[in-house]
Amino acid sequence: MNIRWPRVLTPTYLSQLIRAQKNPIKALQIFNEARNKYPNYRHNGPVYATMINKLIASDQILNMKQVINQMKNDSCECQDSVFSTAIKAYAKSGMLNESISLFKNLHHFNCVNWTESFNTILQIMVKESRFESAHNLFLQNFSKWEVKSRTRSLTWLIEVLCENKRSDLALHIFQEMNHQYCYPTIDTYKTLMKGLCEDGKINEAIHLLYSMFWRISQKGSGEDVLVYKILLDTLCSHGHVEEASDILNKVLRKGLKAPKKKRMPLDFNLCKNGRDIETAKSLISDALIKGVIPSYESYNTMIIDLYSKGNLDIAEKVIQEMDNNGFTPGVLVYEAKVIALCKASKVDEAEKVIANGKFVPSVNLYNSLIEGLCNEKRSLKGLEYFKKMCRQLGCVPNERTYCILVDGLCHDGSYIEASEVLEKMLVNSYWPKRETFSMVISGLCLMGRSYEGIIWLEEMVSQEKIPDVSVWSSLVGSVIHEPVFTEVFFEILES
């Protein structure tokens, strides 16, 4: 191993050495060798974090466990994010008991904040349907001083319970928040309202809405309109149009503090008895939009939510209303619009959003458009946007950009272009997954470019990633008739 060791080793320099290694095993050897070469040197928290993240990225879970134990013995100060990432890695590998064990032993580490790890382990346990265990873990750790944000922890737990159709338990936790001296935020209300409505608990949802009038909505915040709309739309979907109309009037008067001139009576006669439900929802949406107190935040919140639900036409109306009131949509609005258009298979319109030049596209926006193009089997067009993205100042492709594009190009049969993008990915120190290497190698062999496939095989093996059977089959079938490559191929096998 040709490593240029400095005269005096610092943790920052060692972290750089570790990050620069493509092979996680070699990185671990450097990590361990540092202490032998420098008796007075000690790893610190950031070095351990770098090494652990490197091992997790390569699915080296057993080696990760050894490094974590070494970190515990060193008793160096470490960040909560390290444990949160390790807990997720254990769970992803089917080692849930190891995840729980790591969290329960955090008091043995020099870590003063467990909030992120606490939220992570609760989410994982609930997703694994271990509700009783999650509840007990919550009671045992919720009041500990290492858990800094109680409201956030409760909101996360409520969200995961609702995702798993257990809004009854989520409502119980919500009601206990007062006893824990913390108060729900608008996100808490939104999450719980959605969960109750999806589970058909309409009466509980109505009581939750009324509780907002005296706790959250005293100033008539426009952001609250999302919570109101969830309930009103659900009532309409269940055919309770008249009840929705009554609650709408209370929302406009008490929740949004709408001026009297904006509380115009709506004609729901055509929507009674469950007829024309979509018209009823449209009327309610219009009333909420016009009744809200105009602000940049309220409009942005409404528009992003509408796009996320695929309500393109209504979102456009709100944008027009926003423009009429002198507000300009932000980049997040355009991102939401591009994502919604791509989901609706309207990629051409999504391209026009970027082409209008009213804003500077972000990395996330480019990623959404490239993904939409790849899903439409237009990955070469996505490659053009990738190149445009690289030329834009301050807009640097991230790991997701490369993964989306390489996968899309491979699925479209553009293996040469995929190979070029993969090379750029490595240059920028993003390490592809085994499946990505496999697709590129198999595709190149299919095109008769076995030499390039062998080069990528060598790169893959150097990163301790083991090719699957299909890759070996493609390579063997490709090189067996080309003796000039056979020797190189077998050299890699022997290494």
Percent of the chain whose pLDDT exceeds 90:
30
Domain annotation covers residue 226? no
Query: What tens digit of pLDDT does each residue of 254-300 get?
Result: 777 766 655 556 656 655 555 577 777 777 777 777 766 667 777 88
The distance of Cα 47 from the centroid of its chain, to the nearest Å, equals: 25
Q: Which of 384, 415, 430 corresponds to the end of one domain?
A: 430
In angstroms, the CA 417 to CA 405 distance is 10
Three-state SS for 459?
Answer: helix
Domain containing residue 385? 360-430
pLDDT at 216 over 60: no
Query: What tens digit of pLDDT does each residue of 343-384 get?
Result: 888 999 989 888 877 788 889 889 999 999 999 999 999 999
pLDDT at 493 over 60: no
Q: Which of 392, 407, 430 corresponds to the end of one domain?
A: 430
pLDDT at 468 over 60: yes
Close Cβ partners of 210 (under 8 Å, ≥ 6 residues apart): none
pLDDT at 46 over 50: yes
CB-CB contact of 224 with 201 (8 Å): no
Average pLDDT of the chain is 83
pTM of the entire predicted model: 0.68
Average pLDDT for residues 294-309, to the nearest whole number? 80
Domain annotation covers residue 478? yes
pLDDT at 470: 75
Q: Which of 404, 430, 456 corresponds to the end of one domain?
A: 430
| Domain containing residue 406: CATH number | 1.25.40.10
pLDDT band of 484, cuts 50, 70, 90: very low
Domain annotation covers residue 467? yes
Give the number of domains in the chain.
3
Domain annotation covers residue 168? no
pLDDT at 6 over 80: yes
Query: What tens digit of pLDDT does each residue of 394-406 get?
Result: 889 999 999 999 9
In angstroms, the CA 292 to CA 294 distance is 6
Query: What tens digit of pLDDT does each residue of 173-200 get?
Result: 888 776 766 778 888 898 999 999 999 9
Tell me which of 18-22, 101-105, 145-149, 311-315 is least confident.
145-149
Which of 113, 44, 36 is CA-nearest to residue 74? 44
One-letter amino acid for residue 262 of the chain:
K
Task: Please compute Rg for the chain using Cα positions.
Answer: 28
Spell 23-34 as b/e; 16+ CB within 10 A means b.
bbebbbebbeeb
Domain annotation covers residue 127? no
- Which residue is listed with tokens 């445009």? 388
